Each structure stands twice: as structure tokens, then as C-alpha cells.
């Protein structure tokens, strides 16, 4: 009814200063060979953070990362995060954390993008079809260790900023980067670095963005939760040394029999956790959540064939996704001290250590889980009336992370996906753990979004890891669009 007339001058202004997505997307398309070359250069650096013999490569990787950001005119810092003590007592230097800043206009929002440029180990002999450190393109896929986890996403973010700068377009938001080199081995030193920079580097940050995960299908996705993990050692100790099973078998109560009996009390064959209190702590599945899972595109048959099984724990999509993302589970990983070489040694191990973990979800608390598991195992052990000694320790207690999908960061994500892919994203969770998300949330108090560009079949940590050229290039456009969409969140609305 009341239609205000917009002065012509304002229309002209907005056409010049509005978001010129097409120009930026064209720029990305015409520079894609350079982006692939940049990825080739990074993949060639064997920045394996788990192998101390590769530490110089890891240092070189952090320097390359810093150099790239410096060349783009960012204000860049290499931050010394101290040393690492190895199990043998040797002390080696941790790779520097790289931070960078582009723009510091106090009228704009400030986003901080986290990524990592270290990788998992890889060897051709492990069963790779191509040299893992020589990026190789086959049928539109770029194969190489670290291609998807996390070098291409980090480069895509850098190229997104570079595209704005090269076209002399103002960045819609101030951009900060924080790139580490120890993610694959537990982000050693990063928690302390985040703590100590809370009132400096992080003080003006409004939002944190993490792109260290993948889509669920061929459809783009926004990730709003990850499971945590409580990792346990259960040790049963009996005789003072290993015994001959012919000479002593039948006369002693064997630690291995005890531990296997105990492990069998953790979870039922149908996947029900038997430790009292755990299932009760899990947040109930809401109707909205159920509907969201129902709408997600996910094919159980291709999931089964990908992992090579003929049956799953649940045979419908909603239950399967829910148990992958939002319910806890127990996994038994191995028994140390057990005779594991091929052959037929007839030993009674004197001491065995079982390793198992429980994936954490809201509203489980690691301290409670520790208590519940310890008390339960001791009570089950008491029933066995064994003279052996049981010791239970929790060695990792990583909390789950969950975002509110009504947060405007997710609205911005939906708008960016719509603009680039002309579809709505799936809202998904990750079954695995990204502990740094919880640290960012707890220390900085900022809201976080996980904005993945990796494909569902990228093979992270596995042989033949890859990212598709499509995901890498369109992902760069997604990041460009996201920087704009996030700038549209009004300061007063948060």
C-alpha cells in the first residue's frame, strides 16, 4: 500500500556496490587451472603430522601457507605454540600456527576461518592407485593425500578472498584465518593458543567457520553437530608372567577370559548400550529432527555397498542417520597384550588391556560417562568373582558439539548454497569428532558453522583420497557467496 519511491541515485549506487556474484564466479572459472596447480604444490608437501621424520616438511607447509597469505597482502603471523614431548622423552618443535587478517573495518562483521594443512600418513604400497603426494586427475577427481582433508578447502577459502581482491572488490566482511599443522594428531598446542589469544586475535571475531568435513551425498550440506568421544582402557592383570596353557591352563582364572566377558557386557547384539545411565542421558529425538532426517537424501543400499556389508544395524533411513549422528555407540578397538601374531602360540597372557570408546552426544557428560563405565565394569567384574585385578581409565574425553540451526549463520549458509548450487542444502551432523569446534565454542563464546565442500566419497584418511574438481571449484564459489551472505546479518540481530 505504501510504496516508497527509491531515488534513482540509490539504484545506481546499489548496482555498482551490490554483490557482483557473476563476476566473481567467472573469475573462479577462468582461474581454475591455477587453483589446481596450487593444490598440486601443497599436496606435494608430505606434511604428515604423525611422523616426526616428516617434521621439516610440516614446518615447510606452514611457511608455504603463510607465504601465500602474505603474497595476497594479508597481515600474517606465524605463532610459535611450543614443543611436543615424545613418548621417549625427546622434545621437538610443534609446527607454527598461521594466522592472517584481511580487512579491519569496524563497521563490518569479522569471520574467522579455521583449517589445517597437516595430513594423515600415506604410502603408495598401502594400496594407492597413484602416488599419494603427486596430485593426479582422473575423471574429474583430484587424487592425493590431504586433497580433501583439508588442503583444498583451505585453498578454496584463500582463493575466495583472493578473487575479491583481484577484482578490486571490497571484502563484505573482515576475514581472519587460523590454520594449524597438528590436527591429525589431536591439535596439540592449539587449545592453549586459542585461550591465550582470546582477548586479542579472537576479540573482534563474530563468527567461526570450519570446513573440515564432507557432504552426505551429491547434495551440498551444512553441518550442525559432531559426536564427541570417551576412550577407555580396561586392564585385567593376573599372574605375574605369561603362562603355558598346557601346563597351567585349567588351574588359573585367565585375564583374557575376564576381559572378553566384560567387553560382552557393554553393548547388546542389537546395538543397545547396556551401561546404566547412558541411554537416559541422551537428548530425545524431536519431531522436527525426525522430519529433517526424513527429508535427507540418503541411500542405504549404496551405503552398504560402499562399506561392503549385507545388513545394517537399522534398515530404515531415519534410524540409521539418527544412530550415526545423534545416538551414542560403543566400539571395541582391540586388546593389547593379546597374542596377535600369526601362528599357534599357546600362551595365557598375564595382563591384557582392552580398548573401547563411546561416541558422545548431547546431553552426555564425559565425567559422568567415566563414572558410569567405571562403576558398571567393576560391578560386572565383581560378579565374576575373579582374583585378577581390574583397572579402568578414561584416556580421552572429547565433548560433542551442536549448533542451533536457527542461528543466522545457517540462514546465510542456505542462501549461499542456493545461490551457487540452486538447491537447498541438507542439514547434517557428523558422526566423528572435531574437538576444536567445542574448544572454539567454550573459549570464544562465538557461534560456529561447519560449511563443508568435500564429497561424500572422498576417502579421508584412506587410500585414494580425492576431491573432485567440481567440489573444489564450486566450493570456492560457495565460500565467495558465503562471505557476502554472512555480511548481510545485521549487527543488531545477534
Under the binding rule (CB under 5 A), the answer on residue 485 touching Zn ion is: no
Ramachandran assignment for 399, one of left (phi > 0), alpha (psi -120 to 50 degrees), beta (any other): beta
Catalytic position from the list 48, 57, 180, 183: 183
Residue 461 annotated in ligand binding: yes
C-alpha 9: how far from its chain's center?
47
- Residues binding ligand NAG (CB under 6 A): 75, 101, 103-104, 131, 134
> Cβ of residue 423: shortest distance to Zn ion, in angstroms?
25
For 152, other C-beta atoms within 10 Å of its C-beta total 34
Choices 102-110, 209-217, 351-359, 444-452; region in contact with Zn ion by CB under 5 A: 209-217
- Whichever of 14 and 104 has its CB closer to ligand NAG, that residue is 104
- Whichever of 39 and 350 has its CB closer to Zn ion, that residue is 39
- Whichever of 104 and 166 has its CB closer to ligand NAG, that residue is 104
Q: What is the DSSP letter of 87?
A: T
Q: What is the DSSP letter of 341?
A: S
Q: Which H or E run includes 70?
A: helix 55-71
Report the DSSP beta bridge partners of residue 223: 428, 450
Nearest by Cα to 371 from 276, 261, 274: 276
Active site residue 411: no
> Cβ of residue 40: shortest distance to ligand NAG, in angstroms?
9
- Whichever of 46 and 430 has its CB closer to ligand NAG, that residue is 46
Report the DSSP beta bridge partners of residue 81: none
Choices 208-216, 244-252, 286-294, 446-454; region in contact with Zn ion by CB under 5 A: 208-216
Which positions ≥6 away from 320 have C-beta within 8 Å? 298, 300, 303, 312, 313, 314
The footprint of Zn ion on this chain (CB under 5 A) covers a number of residues equal to 3
Inter-residue contact 72 to 161 (CB < 8 Å): yes
CA torsion angle for 139, 145, 149, 152 (degrees, to 10)?
-60
Catalytic position from the list 46, 57, 118, 206: 118
Active site residue 280: no
Residue choice 46, 48, 57, 149 for contact with Zn ion (CB under 5 A)? 149
Under the binding rule (CB under 5 A), the answer on residue 150 touching Zn ion is: yes
Nearest by Cα to 79 from 91, 53, 64, 97: 97
- Whichever of 45 and 373 has its CB closer to ligand NAG, that residue is 45
Sites of contact with Zn ion (CB under 5 A): 149-150, 212
Binding annotation = 116, 149, 184, 212, 461
Catalytic residues: 118, 183
Binding annotation for Mn(2+) = 116, 149, 184, 212, 461
Amino acid at each position: 500500500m505504501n510504496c516508497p519511491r527509491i531515488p534513482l541515485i540509490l539504484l545506481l549506487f546499489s548496482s555498482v556496490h551490490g554483490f557482483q556474484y557473476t563476476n566473481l564466479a567467472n573469475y573462479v572459472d577462468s582461474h581454475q587451472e591455477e587453483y589446481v596447480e596450487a593444490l598440486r604444490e601443497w599436496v606435494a608437501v608430505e606434511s604428515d603430522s604423525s611422523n616426526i621424520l616428516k617434521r621439516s616438511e610440516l614446518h615447510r607447509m606452514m611457511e608455504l601457507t603463510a607465504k601465500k597469505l602474505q603474497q595476497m597482502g594479508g597481515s600474517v603471523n606465524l605463532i610459535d605454540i611450543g614443543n611436543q614431548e615424545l613418548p621417549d622423552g625427546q622434545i621437538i618443535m610443534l609446527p607454527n600456527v598461521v594466522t592472517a587478517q584481511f580487512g579491519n573495518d569496524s563497521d563490518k562483521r569479522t569471520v574467522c576461518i579455521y583449517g589445517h594443512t597437516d595430513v594423515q600418513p600415506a604410502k603408495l604400497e598401502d594400496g594407492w592407485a597413484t602416488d599419494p603426494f603427486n596430485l593426479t586427475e582422473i575423471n574429474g577427481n583430484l587424487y592425493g593425500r590431504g586433497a580433501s582433508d583439508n588442503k583444498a578447502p583451505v585453498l578454496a577459502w584463500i582463493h575466495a578472498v583472493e578473487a575479491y581482491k583481484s577484482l578490486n572488490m571490497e571484502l563484505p566482511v573482515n576475514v581472519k584465518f587460523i590454520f594449524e599443522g597438528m590436527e591429525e594428531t589431536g591439535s596439540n598446542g592449539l587449545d592453549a593458543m586459542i585461550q591465550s589469544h582470546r582477548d586479542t586475535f579472537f576479540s573482534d571475531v563474530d563468527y567461526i567457520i570450519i570446513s573440515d568435513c564432507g557432504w552426505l551425498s551429491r547434495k551440498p550440506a551444512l553441518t550442525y553437530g559432531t559426536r564427541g568421544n570417551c576412550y577407555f582402557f580396561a586392564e585385567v592383570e593376573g599372574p605375574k608372567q605369561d603362562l603355558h596353557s598346557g601346563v597351567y591352563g585349567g588351574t588359573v582364572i585367565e585375564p583374557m577370559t575376564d576381559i572378553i566377558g566384560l567387553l560382552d557386557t557393554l553393548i547388546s547384539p542389537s546395538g543397545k548400550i547396556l551401561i546404566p545411565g547412558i541411554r537416559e542421558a541422551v537428548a530425545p529425538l524431536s519431531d522436527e529432527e525426525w522430519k529433517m532426517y526424513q527429508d535427507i537424501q540418503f541411500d542405504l543400499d549404496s551405503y552398504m555397498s560402499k562399506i561392503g556389508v549385507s545388513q545394517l544395524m537399522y534398515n530404515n533411513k531415519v534410524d540409521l542417520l539418527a544412530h550415526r549422528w545423534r545416538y551414542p555407540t560403543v566400539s571395541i578397538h582391540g586388546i593389547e597384550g593379546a597374542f596377535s601374531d600369526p601362528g599357534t602360540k599357546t600362551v595365557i597372557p598375564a595382563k591384557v588391556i582392552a580398548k573401547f570408546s563411546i561416541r558422545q552426544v548431547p546431553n552426555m557428560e564425559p565425567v559422568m560417562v567415566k563414572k558410569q563405565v567405571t562403576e558398571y565394569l567393576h560391578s560386572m567384574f565383581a560378579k565374576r568373582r575373579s582374583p585378577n585385578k581390574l583397572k579402568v581409565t578414561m584416556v580421552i574425553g572429547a565433548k560433542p558439539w551442536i549448533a542451533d540451526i536457527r542461528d543466522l549463520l545457517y540462514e546465510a549458509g542456505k542462501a549461499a548454497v542456493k545461490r551457487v548450487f540452486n538447491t537447498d542444502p541438507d542439514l547434517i551432523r557428523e558422526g566423528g569428532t572435531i574437538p576444536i569446534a567445542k574448544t572454539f565454542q567454550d573459549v570464544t563464546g562465538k557461534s560456529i558453522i561447519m560449511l563443508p565442500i568435500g564429497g561424500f566419497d572422498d576417502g579421508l584418511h584412506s587410500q585414494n583420497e580425492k576431491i573432485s574438481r567440481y567440489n573444489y571449484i564450486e566450493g570456492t564459489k560457495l565460500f565467495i557467496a558465503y562471505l557476502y551472505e554472512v555480511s548481510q546479518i545485521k549487527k543488531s540481530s545477534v
